Amino acid sequence: MGSCMMTFAIDFDWLDGNGIEGPDRHCWAEVGIKVGDRTIEAADLRLRKVRDRFVTSLLPFADWLVEVWPRLTEERTLEDPQDSQPWRYCHSFRAGRGGGPMPDVRLRRRDADTYEIASYEDEQRPPGISLSFIANTRADAQARDVMRALSRLVEAVCEQLRMSDTWTFEHLSQRWAKALTPAARTAGRLGLTLEDLDELTQEDFKLLDVFASQEVWLSIAEVLSCRNLSELLADTQRITALLPSADDLVPESPKWQSARLESRGSAPWTIGWKAAELFRQRNYLNALSPPGEKLQPLLASKFDWPVEHQLQALPGPRRGIDMVVVRPEDRMPRTLAWHVGEKGCRFRVAKSLCYSLCSNDRLIVDSVRTSGHSEANAFAAELLAPRAFIAQHVPPDGYWTQEDVNDVAQRCAVDPRVIEHQIRNRSLGVLEL
């Protein structure tokens, strides 16, 4: 969705490491990290001043970068509470501090061209560290700039070790070469680190080649959170077989082509709300009259999008996927969803509007771990249960009972959880549930 491309940089100057034991003495450096237009600052409690550079050994950080490189640079899904190797360890620079200071800068690949980067203020300082990083900032950065900055750091550390510590140099260089292989890139897309790659069999490497041959398979597989590659491929092929071909979809209508949205906002939910409001304005929909059961016929009449082509119910388990939106070029989209009732289908059609009108992606796999999930949920909630409509039904004392929520949910023809979301997040009173 529309966002301003920002910059990312890691600047470092080597320092004299005399007095430091081990190979770290060759990699002692003064470091500055820039996210967007802001250099990450730290409060030095010992000197009582704010600094925009800090001193540490870059060897632990480079070693961490190499080991998590596949996941750090290729994984596109969000943090998963069930992940056996925590997402944050592979995406936060803090994990590579090696006993020295390092800000909590988290990096995630959004798509082929873009990374999302966020820096978080320290909640507490690590033991023995006098610096407390204080920058809260977010930015998008071009993939080539991020890869160049991180690669430059690893290669600079290798060069520092080339003549001074041959064993460490050879080990790090060999691991770095493996991290840059095509197999590692595919493995990272599936949530695997370099250590995971070490444990793969020859048959597993063949399966990685199979995944790499089909972008559609990778897009589905990366959401399924399965580390057994043969089972992952079977699940992926089962889901892929259910996807309609371009010939099964109706041609894109001129009305649909002119309905494109450019959504903007400061946070995921805000983006979705604003996009829904813009969609409503452009299509002359009244916020005080929720579309309810008329949504799909309304979309059919406005965009020549047949109701039977809007959503297809699928059999079998979802395996963590909420829905899939198929949208080949010059064709109207179709949403595929697993075992959802009438209200659930309507909500997912509304979500597919957000995905289809606000992005250029031809296949969208939606789950709690995919980019755009929160925006699409917010869009659907606002479209089906407008804030302005709910505001007319806020109880006089501002406290909502379950009966109150159910009543408004019935009027909007949505699940009560949609109303609860709007109440909590749109300043519409207090839930007494």
> Is 224 found in the same domain as 137?
no
Residue 221 belongs to what domain range? 201-240
Q: Which of these, 11, 101, 121, lies nearest to 56 by C-alpha position?
A: 101
- In this structure, the answer to whether residues 229 and 261 fall within a common structural domain is no
Same domain, 290 and 347: yes
Q: Kindly state the tokens that stand for 219.
A: 């897009």
50 within domain boundaries: yes
- Mapped to the 3 state alphabet, what secondary structure does 78-139 carry? CCCCCCCCCHHHHHEHHHHCCCCCCCEEEEEECCCCEEEEEEECCCCCCCCCCEEECCCEEE
Q: Are residues 296 and 215 in the same domain?
A: no
**Do residues 50 and 62 both lie within one domain?**
yes
What was the pLDDT predicted at 268? 65
What pLDDT shows up at residue 258? 87
- Same structural domain, 224 and 277: no
Structure tokens at 132: 């407390």
Shared domain check, 195 and 52: yes
Same domain, residue pair 19 and 154: yes
Structure confidence at residue 124 (pLDDT): 77
Determine the pLDDT at residue 310. 95
Question: How, if at all, do strands 5-6 and 137-142 pair?
Answer: parallel
Residue 397 within any structural domain of the chain: no
Angle between helices 402-412 and 416-425 (to 10 degrees): 110
Per the domain annotation, does 91 fall within a domain? yes
pLDDT of residue 3: 44
Is 402 part of a structural domain of the chain? no
- What confidence score (pLDDT) does residue 279 get? 93
**pLDDT in 10s for each residue of the chain, 433 residues:** 444 445 899 999 999 988 888 899 999 999 999 998 889 999 988 888 999 999 999 999 999 999 999 999 999 998 876 665 689 999 999 999 998 999 999 999 988 899 999 999 988 777 778 889 998 898 999 999 999 999 999 999 999 999 899 999 999 999 999 999 999 999 999 999 999 999 999 999 999 999 999 999 999 999 987 889 999 999 999 899 989 999 999 999 999 988 888 755 556 668 899 999 999 999 999 999 999 999 999 999 999 999 999 999 887 666 778 899 999 889 999 999 987 789 999 999 999 999 999 888 899 999 988 888 999 999 999 999 999 999 999 999 999 999 999 999 999 999 999 999 999 999 999 998 6
Is residue 154 a part of any domain in this protein? yes
89 belongs to a structural domain? yes
Last residue of a domain, which of 357, 384, 411? Answer: 384
pLDDT for the residue 7: 82
Give the amino acid at 10.
I
pLDDT at 307: 95
Are 45 and 188 found together in one domain? Answer: yes
The residue assigned the tokens 């906002």 is 265
What pLDDT is attached to residue 37?
86
430 within some domain: no
User: Same structural domain for residues 167 and 88?
Assistant: yes
Classify residue 392: in a domain, yes or no. no
Question: Is the domain of 180 the same as that of 302?
Answer: no
Q: How many structural domains are present in the chain?
A: 3
pLDDT at 2 (0 to 100): 41
Regarding whether 171 and 75 lie in a shared domain, the answer is yes
Residue pair 303/332 in contact by the 8 Å Cβ criterion? yes
